[in-house]
Amino acid sequence: MEAATHGADHFAELRRHAGDEHPLPEPLVAELRALLGDRLATTRQVREHHGTDISSYPVTPPDAVAHARSTEEVVAIVGLCARHGVPMIPFGVGTSVEGHVLATRGGVCIDLSQMNRVLEVNASDQDARVEPGATRKQLNAHLRDTGLFFPIDPGADATLGGMASTRASGTNAVRYGTMRENVLGATVVLADGRVIRTGGRARKSAAGYDLTRLFVGAEGTLGVITELTLRLYAIPEGMSAAVCAFPTVAAAVDSVIEAIQCGIPIARVELLDALTVGAINRYSKLELREAPTLWYEFHGTPRGVEEQATQMQEIARSHGGLDFAWATRPEERSRLWQARHDAYFACLQLRKGSRMIATDVCVPISRLAECIALTQEDIAKASMPIPLFGHVGDGNFHLMILVDPDSQADCEEAWELNTRLVRRALAMGGTCTGEHGIGLGKREFLVEEFGEGAVGLMRELKATLDPANLLNPGKVV
């Protein structure tokens, strides 16, 4: 089955075909079993788990799940699937939000979660070599005594391989960049079984085509990442976090624009609308004022942090900022940011039994206030609760459209809202996805954003690297 390519039809189509069986060739199952033993799973429960992400798409299971433990095993699995012409879908922990892991054409899910070792930490060089199944929290726990940290933090505790594959970012990107800037190199198994290294440990290199960036963001459609070299950072000497409420979302956004333009090297600056703050208060037992709010974090030397925070406070005040509550103790800071990362779960409680359709546009920051204001007009007319929050320092914000996943009307309304928002962002020089990726849901927007010429080139790259179209087929292009 191929997913339909327009709007709410995705959902209807997926729902119709989610239970389809694509029996695997018997010999393939036998060969995989011989290779992996009980690390090949074909039970309904395991398959359904691997056909699910955190979007509202219906469960779309693969026909088998192969748990790999080494690059060599991935090579063998890829070789077998290729010989039998069976699709393969790399899988971490299933926290993506655009249907990336859904087995829309059946096939074998390559589960990399058992390849989760931190292989090497070079504290002097501030880099680490990890297997793709290690999660961001696991890496940071491993780094605990080194004085270093890995800054990229999507809401979920995603695997680093999944984060690389979706070009993830999170709350720290305004200061530390995204996975694009923080993957130094990767080991990749190609569709023909070749194993390549795309980069070394040097901080910069002008050697050849940038293969690393070709696989970062490719969503598993060009190869299977089996190792990553990542950049780490010294934990800053000084750190402080603060929360400030504003009379309106526009005032909050304007203050951020001014701060960025002044070159304040703010490490995190998150916007949450009143609805989101309320949901977080209830879910994480906080008592924040239920108003549009910015959450900040400053990193640097102790005096530098003080200076940044003072400047920010002045700017906030001049935009009507109501108060500036500090969280300086590490436990307070952790509690705050954990609550921010739990915003997804907090917001789901706003509508019982709902699933979310998350939007993810990113616009040049000068257009952000306008983009949000127009979007709020849409929200006001919507029939469901729609919390708004985002990484405003990057110009990136999300709506969490809470839909009844069984309601075609809900899905259609959400899709239409998302479409309006994406087109608004594109007209402002923005992108349809700041950090979630294309997956199933944004393929048509990719064409609107880049045009047929560039997307045609992407398709040619796909055909060059995966001529039989077996690596996560039907995603991205």
Hey, which residues between 68 and 87 contact its own copies (CB under 8 A)? Answer: none
Q: Specify the residue, 207 or 380, whose C-beta has the smaller distance to its own copies.
A: 207
Residue 199 CA to chain centroid, in angstroms? 23
Q: How far is the CB of 464 from its own copies (least distance, A)?
A: 5
| Contacting residue, 134, 365, 403, 470, with its own copies by CB under 8 A | 365
| Contacting residue, 72, 125, 314, 406, with its own copies by CB under 8 A | 125
Q: Specify the residue, 218 or 440, whose C-beta has the smaller distance to its own copies.
A: 218
Q: Specify the residue, 114 or 146, whose C-beta has the smaller distance to its own copies.
A: 146
Listing DSSP states for 270-325 in one string gives EEE-HHHHHHHHHHHT----SS-EEEEEEEESHHHHHHHHHHHHHHHHHTT----E
Q: Any idea what DSSP says for residue 135?
A: B
Distance CA 398, CA 171 (A): 12
* Dihedral, 379, 372, 251, 285 alpha carbons, nearest 10: 60
Helix (H, G, I), strand (E, B), or coil: what is residue 444?
Answer: helix
Sheet of 118-122, strand order:
118-122, 127-130, 224-231, 183-189, 195-197
Q: How far is the CB of 404 from its own copies (least distance, A)?
A: 27
Contact window for its own copies (CB under 8 A) among 81-89, 104-112, 272-280, 445-453: 445-453
Q: Specify the residue, 33 or 423, whose C-beta has the smaller distance to its own copies.
A: 423
Question: Between residue 180 and residue 239, which ones bind its own copies under the rule CB under 8 A?
Answer: 180-181, 190, 194-198, 200-211, 213-214, 216-218, 222, 233-237
Q: Specify the residue, 63 or 394, whose C-beta has the smaller distance to its own copies.
A: 394
| Contacting residue, 4, 82, 123, 322, with its own copies by CB under 8 A | 123
Q: Specify the residue, 42 or 122, whose C-beta has the smaller distance to its own copies.
A: 122
Contact window for its own copies (CB under 8 A) among 53-61, 110-118, 276-284, 427-435: 427-435
- Residues recorded for the chain: 477
Question: Between residue 281 and residue 320, which ones bind its own copies under the rule CB under 8 A?
Answer: 300-301, 303-304, 307-308, 311
Question: Between residue 163 and residue 182, which ones bind its own copies under the rule CB under 8 A?
Answer: 166-169, 173, 177-178, 180-181
According to DSSP, the residues that pair with 149 across neighbouring strands are 233
Q: Which helix (H) or strand (E) holds 148?
A: strand 148-149
Q: Which helix (H) or strand (E) holds 450?
A: helix 443-465
Contact window for its own copies (CB under 8 A) among 18-26, 59-67, 330-338, 390-398: 390-398
Please answer whether residues 254 and 369 qualify as being in contact, where contact means their C-beta atoms are separated by less than 8 angstroms: yes
Q: How far is the CB of 203 from its own copies (least distance, A)?
A: 5
Distance CA 239, CA 299 (A): 5
- Establish if 456 lies at the interface with its own copies (CB under 8 A): yes
Residue 229 CA to chain centroid, in angstroms? 19
Q: Specify the residue, 211 or 322, whose C-beta has the smaller distance to its own copies.
A: 211
Q: Which two tokens stand for residue 78?
A: 């890829």
Q: 108-111 and 88-91: which strand pairing?
A: parallel
- Establish if 140 lies at the interface with its own copies (CB under 8 A): no
Residue type, 200: G
Contact window for its own copies (CB under 8 A) among 58-66, 277-285, 321-329, 423-431: 423-431
- Establish if 436 lies at the interface with its own copies (CB under 8 A): yes
- Establish if 455 lies at the interface with its own copies (CB under 8 A): yes
Contact window for its own copies (CB under 8 A) among 5-13, 32-40, 374-382, 426-434: 426-434
Listed in sequence order, the residues at least 6 apart from 183 whose beta carbon sits closer than 8 Å to its beta carbon are 164, 212, 216, 228, 229, 230, 231
Backbone dihedral region of 474: left (phi > 0), alpha (psi from -120 to 50 degrees) or beta? left
Q: Specify the residue, 64 or 440, whose C-beta has the smaller distance to its own copies.
A: 440
| Contacting residue, 25, 85, 265, 330, with its own copies by CB under 8 A | 265
